[in-house]
Amino acid sequence: MSHREYPAAGREKTFFGHPRGLAVLFGTEMWERFSFYGLQGILLTFLTASVLQNGLGLSDTVAVPIASLYSGAVYLTSLPGGWLADRILGARRAVLIGGVIIMCGHISMAIPVSGPALVFLGLFLVVLGSGLLKPNISVMVGRLYDGDTDARRDSGFSVFYMGINLGGFLGILVTPYLAGDDRWHLGFGAAAVGMALGLLWYVRGWSRLTGTGIGPSRPLADEERGKVVRIIVISLVVAAVAIAIWAATGTLTLSTVPTVVTILSIAAAVWYFIYIFGEAKDVTPAEKAGLRAYVGLFIASVVFWMLYLQMGSILTAFAANSVDLDSWGFHLPAGGVQNFNSIFILIFSPIFGAIWLKAGTGFGTAYKFALGVGLTGLSWVFLGWLQGRADSGILVALGWMVVVYLLLTWGELCVSPVGLSVTTQLAPANLKGQLMGVWFLGPAVGTPLGGQAYAFLVPKVGEQAFFYILAGLAILTAVVLAVFSPGLHRLMGRGGHGPDAVMETPAEPRPQ
């Protein structure tokens, strides 16, 4: 066993063979995901519940884009959150501050008052805090493996990913039952408690993180600070004026907000790739080679998230409207169906982690992505078939949803943890937090796009055709990605630090 392969195992205690800091980040992310998925488990049903049931009484075509927006917008703020960590806060403080803001958001939603004001304020705070916590905790996981092997990093992210889904399982298990049919604020309160437990775990394990994430990797110079403050102030003023004008026109509605945010997400993704290739002067040609490959992976991830992250919106609506939720002898809340995914993740995460270790560089990242997107497309083909049965008046047995979620889970394990890992590897040395923010722009773009597609297509072609259209898009994307995978792997190899790189000489140390 070489020192390079297992730098920590021989000198100190480990967490399942990984650095002890992984246990701290594992637990923190587990409880943050408890709060996130707990809220996701009841948000759509709360939005569509009648006013007599203390809900908002929205239609599916209005509520689905809002729920999709929540699932995706928590990732939209990851780009500025990564920038703040890289330039001002450092990853460790960013995670702490983000967790506090998330907890405040859930507390706002838990206050039992009538009307939507505190609920939407709480959603805004959850989105804001997630932008600080989500990308930077993943960056810290990656930095635990600086100088280690790519296969071991992939394995570590798979363990970390198991913690994410353990939290998701517990959140979806607890909050729908607490919320019932009209106790929504009790469910929101459970999410607040979950985030509080995550913060406590993080603070207590602070010392186990050693030097990981302390201070910004590229702090602002004195002459830059004034410029940054001016840009922020001008941006906030412009945003406030734009929102005021929008409201004055009478077009600021629950239907138009998801559309505008989706457009902003797409614009943010395009702008950042233009920036990183054309304006970031400290990105080397070798790093740009890896980033060109990353563009292809990012596009595939957008299609993946467009389908996958509809669990809390489109798939929950399908479960509520078309699935026999009592077919197993007990009543399962519509949001609780999402827990099939959490259960399968807990079962298959270590299996897929072992598979990636066994396969090594023989099955590259692009091929993993193609397989994952294809499996996700197949799950939606199956959903289309089930929708046809429901349209003929047959309630779908709950067991069929097991098949749908099994395919989705296998697709997820081929894309999401691998995507986290490859992002930390291909990111330029001083832009790790920001590129992790770009990775999270994938769900920020894809998820609301799926919600917008639902609102636009379903009234025109029906739900079955809608499922088949998006399934066809995913399968086509998987085929194209598989065809171009060899070229993408060559670019990642040129970058010198991709998971498929084959270097004849050791890479030079990268500046910290």
The predicted pLDDT at position 100 comes to 97
Residues 403, 327: Cα–Cα separation, whole Å: 16
Q: What is the mean pLDDT of residues 11-19?
A: 65
Question: By percentage, how much of the chain surpasses pLDDT 90?
Answer: 41
Encoded amino acid at 471, one letter: A
Q: Does position 213 have pLDDT exceeding 90, yes or no?
A: no
**Which of 330-344, 374-388, 483-497 reaches the highest mean pLDDT?**
374-388
State the pLDDT at residue 285.
72
Separation between Cα atoms, residue 481 and residue 486, nearest integer Å? 9
For 396, list phi and psi in degrees, rounded to 5.
-75, 130
Three-state SS string over 451-466 comes to HHHHHHHHHHHCHHHH
Least confident range from 145-159, 197-211, 217-231, 432-446: namely: 145-159
- Residues 413-423 have a mean pLDDT of 84
Helix (H) or strand (E) holding 396, with range, is strand 396-397
Look at residue 10 and tell me whether its pLDDT is greater than 70. Answer: no
The pLDDT of residue 506 is above 70? no
Whole-number mean pLDDT of the chain? 84
User: Is the pLDDT assigned to residue 437 strictly greater than 80?
Assistant: no
pLDDT surpasses 80 at 399: yes
Mean pLDDT of 288-306: 88
pLDDT given at position 12 = 57
pLDDT at residue 494 is higher than 70: no
Residue predicted with more confidence, 491 or 121: 121
Place 433 in a pLDDT band, splitting at 50, 70 and 90: low
- Average pLDDT rounded to a whole number, residues 457-482: 95
DSSP 8-state assignment for residue 55: S
Model confidence at 279: pLDDT above 80: no
Contact 173, 336 (CB under 8 A): yes
CB 171 within 8 Å of CB 82: no
Q: What is the pLDDT of residue 13?
A: 66
The class of domain 282-498 in CATH terms is mainly alpha
Give residue limits of the domains in the chain: 15-216, 282-498
pLDDT at 464 over 60: yes
Average pLDDT over residues 321-346: 89
Would 15-216 and 282-498 be classified into the same CATH topology?
A: yes
Beta strand extents in 138-270 (DSSP E only): none
Q: What is the DSSP letter of 336?
A: G
Distance CA 330, CA 381 (A): 28
Q: How does residue 462 score in pLDDT terms, banded at 50, 70 and 90?
A: very high
CA 71 – CA 36 distance, rounded (Å): 9
Q: Containing H/E element for 476?
A: helix 463-495
Q: Residues 160-164: what's their mean pLDDT?
A: 81
Better-scored residue on pLDDT, 194 or 87 = 194
**What CA–CA distance (Å, rounded) separates 66 from 71?**
9
> Encoding tokens for residue 155?
């394995």
Report pLDDT for 315. 95
- pLDDT mean over 481-507: 58
Q: How confident is the model at residue 281 (pLDDT cuts 50, 70, 90)?
A: low
For the segment 157-176, the average pLDDT, to the nearest whole number, is 86
Q: What is the pLDDT of residue 477?
A: 96
The predicted structure's pLDDT at residue 374: 96
Region of poorest pLDDT, from 115-119, 124-128, 411-415, 458-462: 115-119
Least confident range from 100-114, 306-320, 324-338, 493-507: namely 493-507
Mean pLDDT of 21-29: 91
Of 77-86, 296-305, 442-451, the least confident: 77-86
pLDDT of residue 406: 96
**pLDDT beyond 70 at 230:** yes
Average pLDDT over every residue of 467-495: 87
CATH code 1.20.1250.20 for 15-216: yes
Identify the pLDDT of residue 363: 80
Position with higher pLDDT, 153 vs 12 = 153
Rounded to an integer, the average pLDDT of 398-424 is: 90
